[in-house]
Structures are given as C-alpha cells and as structure tokens.
Amino acid sequence: MHQGTQGIYTFPTSSEVGQFVKTRVDPVIEDCNKIKEDLGFNVDSVKIKQIGKSFAHFRGTFGERETIAVPSDYNTHDEIDFSKPNIQNLYRSRMEHSEYAWEVCLSTPTIPLNGIDEMFGISDQHFWHIKCSHCNHWQVLTWWPEEDRQKQSNIRLLNGKWKDHVKLKAGKYSVTGEWGYVCQKCDRKINYDPFLIPMQWISKFPERTERRGYALNALIAWGYKEPKAIVSSFFDYREIDKAYNRILGLAYTTPGKKVARADILRSINNKLKMEDRGINCFMGADQALSLVVIGNYTEKGKARITYFERIKKNLFDQIDSKGKLIRGRLTDLMEQFNVQAAVVDAQLNTESAYQFANNFAGRVWLAFYADRQVDKINWKNENWTVVVNRNRAFETAMQFWMDRRVEIFPEDDYNFELYEMFIEHLSMLTKVIVETEDGRKMTKWLTPKGCDFAHAWNYFCMALEADVNTIRRVAMPGISGFKMKT
C-alpha cells in the first residue's frame, strides 16, 4: 500500500477475519521493524490497522450489518466463492475516487463458470510453466486422476500398473508404489532444481490487458511436495468436487447430481421454528403455484429459511368492483418480514407484478429467464427487472444444499404437506451433460414441469445477491449524496 491510502480486505465471516489477522497479519507487523519504528503503528484492532498514514480495514461479508462507509484504494476479497454474493459490487463504489482502484479476488474454485472460475475465464490466464531439462519442452504442471489420462499428466506411477497401486477398499483409497514427476513430452523423470529448470508464469491470452489472472494448484509446490502425497491427498477426499477444487485448483461439479431428500433433512436446525414475521429478510416468489420462500443469512454465511407458504388468495394488490383496495399477500409478507430484497416470477400476472415492483421500488425485482445470456444475473434498476441465465442461477442455488450452507426449521404437523412439497420439488432437478451448438460439453440443470418450489428457492437465492446498499441509494434519493435521475 502507498502511504496515505486505505485498503479493505474481506473474508466470508467475521470469525475468519479474526483468525487471519491474529495468525497472519499481526505476526508480520510484529517482525517488521520498518512498520514499528519508521512508519509507526498507531491503531491496532482486529478490524482496523493504521500503518503510518495508511489504514487497512478487515471485514467479514456475513454477519456484518453493512459495508464499511470509508473510501478505499485497494479491495481484496479472499475466498470470494464462499463470501456473500455480489461482494465486489458492494465495495467497488468505495474506490470511485481513487487513482489506484486496485481489486484482487482470491478463492478456491467451486462451481464452473461461477465466482473465481468465471473471473479467471475472462482474464489473461497465467499458468505456472516449467521447462523440461531433457527435451526443453515448456509445460504446465498437471495431473489427472483417471488412469487413461496419465499420458497427459506430470505425476505418474514409475513402476507397475495403476490398478495395482490405486485401490479402493472399505470406502477408502490406498495409494502405493513409486511416483514421480515426468515430462509430458519425452516421458523422462524431472527432478526439482531451481537452478537447472527454468520456471515462470506464462499468459495464455496476453492480449487481454484489463484483468490479470493466476491459476494455482498443489503441483506448483512440487519442490517440496512429494508426488505420491499429492495423489493420496486427492483420493482422501470423500467428495470428488472438493478434491478437484482444493488439490487440482479446478472448478468442478459431478454430472448426474441431485439434491436428495437427505440433503435437505440434514440441513434442519432443531432450534429453529417457522416464523410468522422477521427483520431484514429476503424473499423469492413463483407465480405458477403461488409459492414463497423467505429467509436471511446466518453469521456463518448460511442461507436460513424461516418461512414458506403456498398463497391461497391473491398474490398482488387488487381493486374490486367498488374501487376498494384488496391487499395482496405478498404486500403483507413484505411488511411482516421487513423484506430487504425480493425476486418475483414475472410471468402470468405480469402487469400486477410490475405494479407490485413499483410499489416497493428498489426492494422488488421481476425475474425473466434468458438462457442464452452469458451473465448469470443482469439487474436492471431502471424498471426493477432481473434477467437470469436459468442454468447458472440454479447451479448456485443448488450448490447451497450440496455444500451444506442451508439451515431450515424442522418439519411438523402444521407445515407437513408444504414441507414435503418443498422436498419433492427440489429433488426433481437433475444435473446432466449436454452438448452445445458449437460442440462443447457443459453441465445443465434439468428443471421439469411441476418443480415450482425449486423456482421459488432459485428466486430467493437471487434476492440474496441483491446489492441492498445500492438499492437504498437508488430508491431513496438524498442518502449518501445520491440523487434520483429526473
């Protein structure tokens, strides 16, 4: 950081911020005489550090009431895939004044084409290359966990057959034999030697100058990580997704996956109950069966479902034949749960839906699916609509359950039928592999007819991504110097 500047560093939760500051930041400051003696160290807390004339602010994205109302020159978002959605936009406005305006996003990848994987995909894509000391071939250190792809891998079994040394027994893999680093071209063994083997970052798309990206995986540490240890670490994971994410540094989701009944039931928190009102909640509503999901975030970054309903009367406000206003159920729910952001299906009663969105301008968006859209979500504040890539949005929404990042109240006699409908509808979705028009293969969530609660859940997850701080400034002129356009 340059002197006289400010930086913001975010982690998913406040507890992770505290651990990071105490174990990483504080020891560096303690061991650095230049900071302590030359620059001065005046403010010292978990959330703020003053070094000379500069300030570093540390913040969790979940469990915080609001974003920091300070200008920033450098924003760093750590583990962005596990942070509050849209965290970049929440803090990007803090850099509008800055001559630096640097933004760094770091994360273990999770879902393909989402979060850090999406950002890396549009960057210049730097990969760590090494040059073979035998044939001079430059290559990216790579390993694949399939036997038929070993020719494309740098880690290989040096003696014997794969099936004899990678065995599954009693639900756990054992890895034996001698493994080594091998050149992908000449197949000769490569021994780590920083003086003999050239190594450097090389960009795949050097013409992309706006965003710089770096791909990291366990093989980058090949100077001190034994190849057999990397292979064993991969197979130690029970969930293949996590192995790809954390060992190989790749976004990955398993084709054919479903959110099963067990995934939902294991998310039950018996300390919760279905509430009839709340504060600072989010809402998703599907018009087909008039289904609603309401909840909020926990301090640990989980989506907490506090209420759902199948609305029996009118969804939206209506005027009867005598000119009397009949309040819609969604209007009541907006007030009962102090809903900060809601995403509502725009189809069927579109005109009434638009009027509802206008009545709660800046708090309600109408959702339209557009499967050819590249971006997952495109918020249009000028008419309170949101255009959504259905598949990418469902990928995020269903991942909440797969990663056990949902809390829900227990089933009881009162909510039994609706609870079972919720489980049935979410269980109907399946992820499959499809081929695109240009021949590429991709995963896709199939959403059959009759899974309306799944759409309500999808809309709820979209509402969680709404930038509430920006919403308030647009919808309520005069706050923080923002004014409505006329």
Residue bearing tokens 């269980």 = 427
Looking at residue 65, its pLDDT comes to 54
Decide: 267 and 408 in contact? Cβ < 8 Å.
Answer: yes
Domain boundaries, the chain: 6-108, 126-246, 261-481
| Rounded-to-integer distance, Cα 263 and Cα 241, Å | 16
Residue bearing tokens 């990042």 = 405
- In terms of Cα–Cα distance, which of 73, 78, 29, 32 is closest to 55? 73
- State pLDDT tens for residues 279-289: 999 999 999 99
Looking at residue 123, its pLDDT comes to 93
Token representation of residue 454? 């799944």
Residue bearing tokens 């596990």 = 82
Looking at residue 435, its pLDDT comes to 64
- In terms of Cα–Cα distance, which of 94, 30, 112 is closest to 442? 112
CATH fold group of domain 6-108: Rossmann fold (3.40.50)
- State pLDDT tens for residues 352-407: 999 999 999 989 999 999 887 878 888 888 889 999 999 889 989 998 998 889 99
Please state the separation of Cα 111 from the chain's center in Å.
8
| Rounded-to-integer distance, Cα 477 and Cα 456, Å | 31
| Rounded-to-integer distance, Cα 177 and Cα 158, Å | 8
Token representation of residue 326? 């009949």
Helix and strand counts by DSSP (H, E) for the chain: 15, 25
Looking at residue 251, its pLDDT comes to 86
Looking at residue 91, its pLDDT comes to 84
Task: Give me the residues paired with residue 173 across strands.
Answer: 168
What is the number of alpha carbons within 13 Å of residue 485 lying toward its C-beta? 2
Task: Give me the residues paired with residue 303 across strands.
Answer: 297, 406
What is the DSSP track for 192-215?
A: --TTTS-EEEEES-TT--S---B-
- In terms of Cα–Cα distance, which of 196, 194, 204, 160 is closest to 178? 160
Encode 112-124: b = buried (16+ Cβ within 10 Å), e = exposed.
Answer: bbbbbbbbbeebb
Decide: 167 and 232 in contact? Cβ < 8 Å.
Answer: no
Q: Is 419 helix (H, G, I), strand (E, B) or coil?
A: helix
Which residue numbers in the chain have pLDDT < 50? 469-486
Q: Which CATH architecture has domain 261-481?
A: 2-Layer Sandwich (3.30)
Strand (E) positions, 242-345?
Answer: 281-286, 291-297, 303-310, 318-319, 325-326, 339-345
Where is 143: in which H helix or E strand? Answer: none
Looking at residue 458, its pLDDT comes to 97
Looking at residue 66, its pLDDT comes to 54
Looking at residue 211, its pLDDT comes to 92
| Rounded-to-integer distance, Cα 352 and Cα 325, Å | 13
Please state the separation of Cα 52 from the chain's center in Å.
35
**Angle between helix 452-464 and 390-402 (nearest 10):** 90
How large is the greatest C-alpha to C-alpha distance in the chain, in angstroms? 90
| Rounded-to-integer distance, Cα 397 and Cα 281, Å | 17
Looking at residue 30, its pLDDT comes to 83
Residue bearing tokens 């650095």 = 32
| Rounded-to-integer distance, Cα 414 and Cα 431, Å | 32
User: What is the pTM (predicted TM-score) of this model?
Assistant: 0.64
